Amino acid sequence: MSSQKKEHLNLLVMGHVDNGKSTLVGHLLFLAGGLDDRYLAALEEEAKKTGKEFAKFAWLGDKLKEERERDMTIDLSFWKFETPKYFFTIIDAPGHRDFVKNMITGASQADCAILVVSAKKGEYEAGMGPGGQTREHAFLAKTLGVNQVVVAINKMDDQTVNYSEQRYNEVKDGVFKFLKMIGYDTSKILAIPISGWKGDNIIKHSPNTPWYKGPTLFEALDTFVPPEKPINKPLRVPIQDVYTITGVGTVPVGRVETGVMKVGMNVIFMPANKAGEVKSIETHHMKIEEAVPGDNIGFNVKGVGKTDIHRGDVCGEVSKPPTVAETFKGRIFVLYHPTAIAAGYTPVLHVHTATVATTFLELEKKIDPKTGAVIEEKPSFLKQGDSAIVTFKPTKPLAIELYNDLPPLGRFALRDMGRTIAAGVVTEIKPATLAK
């Protein structure tokens, strides 16, 4: 993206299932992404045939057969899209709780986000309920460093909402209260009343909401501030996926988090411990010579096979390879847990694109969440609401970094039983010695 005039941002679209994320994204792309009228018409035909006319926008992103059959997004979609100020990569994430793992890898790659909240009666309540994804996604996004959010209050056209200002305010207040609680500065957050289906306030100000004086969604996206690009740090590209492209070879895909990748570089993937030369780099089907932090790239590496590497591995320069942890210390906050947590507990750790079952090896200290002061040394157990320093042991080799060094690879979430248990940052690492 260094060759483009506009700055590039990764935008995550998140929210509870059926709140209209994919439809909004599809509609946004249709209005401003330069998508073919004919392509959309063809999709509409196909959707009508299966009796799912409403899905015509969503099917732009939901390409998998399973996704169309079940009317839900399963895996991430990446799209490019331009506003007057920026060039965006939109990451459309699944909202269903079964696919939170995929949403997390999406969040780990985002600079900013749209939190889609349906105003429809019942849907708002479900998403904001204790196990709802409106809450969980917002919490996970904050945990993973997404500090800029726009709230899109969707389905304003629905019968139960009818473009009501009162309902808009009710939803806005509820969501903001929660966002404030998890650490967002709500004075800086915009909430826009939209209809992903009809198009209200997406690009043009809608006559249906005369009481709303704020910006359209499009305008709101331009208020985002591009984050600093850690160009001078060691190269780190967490791998999102691996493809085999005929005529090219193995193409891993991921976002450059830190450092710069150049064609010709010698890179290594950890913990897979496989190295090779970068033959080419592409972003959104355009070849580039150099990729910087924030770029979502597919890059061809000579000497590495498709089954050698997978999602969760991290790519770096051979001279400064990614760190693989044998154990590490983290400072965590226990957001939710039904019982006490003792050493031995093994939930699932999510960090950058990796997912690994990880054991609480030793509970080192309990600390005050507000001040950071030590409350208790070597506590016997932790519970909901506690903040602590814990030594963790991943059950499989894991590439991870110190939060103070390389923040995108040092932030993590812990999940178990379908709930997010805790969030934390890596404070110390004991590196593993790998056999060559």
Nearer to other proteins, 183 or 418 (CB): 418
Exactly one of 126, 190, 263, 343 binds other proteins (CB under 8 A); which one? 343
Closest CA to 362 of 396, 387, 388, 384: 388
Exactly one of 340, 377, 404, 431 binds other proteins (CB under 8 A); which one? 340
Least Cβ distance, residue 36 to other proteins (angstroms): 16
Q: How many CA atoms lie within 13 A of 209 on its CB side?
A: 31
Site string for other proteins, 77-116 (x = CB under 8 A): xx-----------------xxxxxx---------------
Exactly one of 374, 383, 404, 431 binds other proteins (CB under 8 A); which one? 383
Least Cβ distance, residue 360 to other proteins (angstroms): 9
CB 305 within 8 A of CB 389: no
Q: Is 27 in the site for other proteins (CB under 8 A)?
A: no
Closest CA to 17 of 121, 107, 105, 98: 98
Q: How far apart are CA 239 and CA 217, in angstroms?
A: 31
Nearer to other proteins, 135 or 155 (CB): 135
Q: Is 35 in the site for other proteins (CB under 8 A)?
A: no
The residues, ordered by sequence, that sit 6+ positions from 81 with a Cβ below 8 Å of its Cβ are: 28, 29, 32, 33, 87, 88, 89, 90
Specify the stretch interacting with other proteins by CB under 8 A; choose among 13-21, 62-70, 168-176, 229-237: 62-70
Nearer to other proteins, 29 or 217 (CB): 29
Exactly one of 160, 162, 307, 404 binds other proteins (CB under 8 A); which one? 307
Query: Binding to other proteins (CB under 8 A): which residues in 270-299?
Result: 298
Exactly one of 182, 348, 375, 402 binds other proteins (CB under 8 A); which one? 348
Structure tokens at 68: 């169309």
Strand, helix or coil at 7? strand
Per the DSSP assignment, residues forming a β-bridge with 21 are: none
Chain centre to alpha carbon of residue 409: 13
Site string for other proteins, 391-430 (x = CB under 8 A): ----x-------------------xxxx------------
Least Cβ distance, residue 416 to other proteins (angstroms): 5
Find the helix or strand (DSSP H, E) in which 260 lies. Answer: none
Chain centre to alpha carbon of residue 118: 20
Peptide bond connecting 271 to the previous residue in cis, omega within 30 degrees of 0: yes
CB 2 within 8 A of CB 87: no
Q: How many CA atoms lie within 13 A of 434 on its CB side?
A: 17
Query: Binding to other proteins (CB under 8 A): which residues in 207-246?
Result: 240-245
Binding site for other proteins (CB under 8 A): 61, 63-66, 70, 74-78, 96-101, 240-245, 251, 253, 298, 306-307, 310-311, 337-348, 355, 357, 380-381, 383-384, 395, 415-418
